[in-house]
Amino acid sequence: MMENVFLVTGASRGIGAATAALAADAGYRVVRASRSAEESVGDRGWDAKCDVSSFDSVQELMSRVESRWGRIDVVFANAGVSVDTSFVSSAGAKPSEWTDMVVTNVCGPAFTARAAMPALIRSGGHLVVTGSAAGRGVRPGNLYSATKWAVTGLAQAIRAEAVGTGVRVTVVQPGLVDTDAIPASRVGDPKLAPEDVGRAVLYAVSQPSTVDVNEILIRPTGQAAHR
């Protein structure tokens, strides 16, 4: 019997790395995909180079994993980037630097879903997408927040289309997480550990096949709802 396979994008650090480790502890074979990965394949772990801003790159990875390990059961579309933005001043990143964030954060999970869905339909699998609590309310001048609004809508659109296929779809929306992407203005705020988000992901995928956890909102204790 083939063992279940859990694929994580953006797995080189933070939420992705923590979730990959938890998935391995839970008994999955784990594919850790990232732009910076050095290709290395073992019996239970696979570090795979993949750029989610390229559909061809993601599709090629799904094909390789299914060919080598026979199946894909969980895909965690987690890769994302953040830059500071303003629409009324020159503060933050220049507009020429915004494109990579939008493509990675919005097209990335869309490309990942499209590339993974044939394998997930075959396995009756689960797609999980990283959104953000920032995508649930207005953040002045914040294009990152807008990309996460888009991710929430994307997850809902995928789930609606996947009805009848057996594939479950979850969007996980963390509050502030202790990673290297924390804005300087929020260094002292309450934070989740990456493993806290990883446990939420594992909770969703560990439910019986008759249960589809559509959305998880998780904040650190003490974080204000508007932050």
Positions marked active-site = 144
Task: Enter the DSSP assignment of 167.
Answer: -
Q: Nearest-5° angle of CA 122, CA 128, CA 131?
A: 155
Task: Match 């699998």 to its residue by tokens.
Answer: 125
What is the distance between the alpha carbons of residues 222 and 217, in angstroms, rounded to a whole number?
Answer: 14
Q: What are the φ/ψ torsions at residue 102 (nearest 5 degrees)?
A: -65, -45
The C-alpha angle with vertex 18 and arms to 121 and 6, in degrees rounded to 5, equals 20
Beta bridge partners of 103: none
Q: Please give the Cα distance from 144 to 45 (Å, whole number).
A: 31
Calpha distance 148→58 (Å, rounded): 20
User: SS3 of 158, please?
Assistant: helix
Closest listed residue to residue 69, CA positions, set 40, 46, 35, 36? 46
Beta pairing partners, 40: 47
Number of residues in the chain? 227
